[in-house]
Amino acid sequence: MNRWSPALLAGLMLAAAAQDAGAADGLPFTMKVDRLPNGLQVVTAHTDTPGIISYFTIVRTGSRDEVEKGRSGYAHFFEHMMFRGTKQWSSQAYSAKLQAHGADGNAYTTWDYTAYHVTAPKAALADVITLESDRFRFLDYDEAAYRTEAGAVLGEYNLSFSDPGMKAWEVLGETAFTTHTYGHTTIGYGADVKAMPEGFEYARAFFKRHYTPDNTTIIVAGDVEPAEVLAAITKAYGDWTGTHDAPVVPAEPEQT
């Protein structure tokens, strides 16, 4: 199964939101939407992909939620940090487990959400649920690891902005949006990225604020039985706690 495009994924998320509210839209497959008592939304869809499953964890926080001055880039930063491992599953053990199944995992950040995805054989689903539920509940890193990852993100920033087109994109965003946080790129402003190594405590607060079950949607599609998936996810994520503290994103004034 090819990686779903962000546009298709966004469409499925919107359809899930509509169905959650009682509406029904025509899709080329049957979609089931459930919500656990802790607020976690679970979307399952049986599709014609024999033996293959796709597992998305969508945190509904993106660069638009970075409203504090000098703190842009943290949504993208946690795209990196989420692969740092836990006490139970180190980064190396996590990768080795996926590779043993022939599975592929990655992540990306947008203005509106951060997506973590795994494509794997159907037989790997139980292990995928174990790995993903563990890292979203028990991400573990110390300040040294934090600083190392901040340095890696700065390297990515420097590489990206060696392309003049990226600077043009940054200026375009600032010109198009003078107030709304869509005005900055997902990787953040250079000065903010350079200051990240000193933002250890802020990063912990950012994670606690946004990486909560009620701000997360899990989408499992492919050769799956929705009832079985829901039962497994309920067991794995049911004790995940936390309440999203949504920031107030400034509205863009009408442009003339």
Task: Name every residue whose Cβ is closer than 8 Å to that of residue 107 and which is 6 or more positions away in sequence.
Answer: 79, 82, 83, 114, 115, 116, 117
Task: Name every residue whose Cβ is closer than 8 Å to that of residue 70 and which is 6 or more positions away in sequence.
Answer: 191, 192, 195
**Reported pTM:** 0.90
pLDDT at 101: 98
What fold does the segment set 28-237 form as a domain?
A: Cytochrome Bc1 Complex; Chain A, domain 1 (3.30.830)
List the chain pLDDT tens, one digit each, 256 residues. Answer: 344 444 455 556 555 554 554 444 667 778 899 999 999 999 999 999 999 999 999 999 999 999 999 999 999 999 999 999 999 999 999 999 999 999 999 999 999 999 999 999 999 999 999 999 999 999 999 999 999 999 999 999 999 999 999 989 999 999 999 999 999 999 999 999 999 999 999 999 999 999 999 999 999 999 999 999 999 999 999 999 999 999 999 999 988 7
8 A C-beta contact, residue 193 and residue 153: yes
Q: Extract the tokens encoding 107.
A: 């992540």
Q: How far apart are alpha carbons 73 and 161 in whole angstroms?
A: 14
The 3-state secondary structure of the chain reads CCCCCHHHHHHHHHHHHHHHCCCCCCCCCEEEEEECCCCCEEEEEECCCCCEEEEEEEECCCHHHCCCCCCCCHHHHHHHHCCCECCCCEHHHHHHHHHHCCCEEEEEECCCCEEEEEEEEHHHHHHHHHHHHHHHHHCCCCHHHHHHHHHHHHHHHHHHCCCHHHHHHHHHHHHHCCCCHHHCCCCCCHHHHHHHHHCHHHHHHHHHHHCCHHHEEEEEEECCCHHHHHHHHHHHHCCCCCCCCCCCCCCCCCCC
Burial of 37 (0-12, 13-18, 19+ CB in 10 A): exposed
Extents of the domains making up the chain: 28-237
pLDDT at 22: 42
Distances (CA, A) of 166 to 76, 176, 209: 16, 15, 30
pLDDT at 23: 41
pLDDT at 21: 41
8 A C-beta contact, residue 152 and residue 83: no
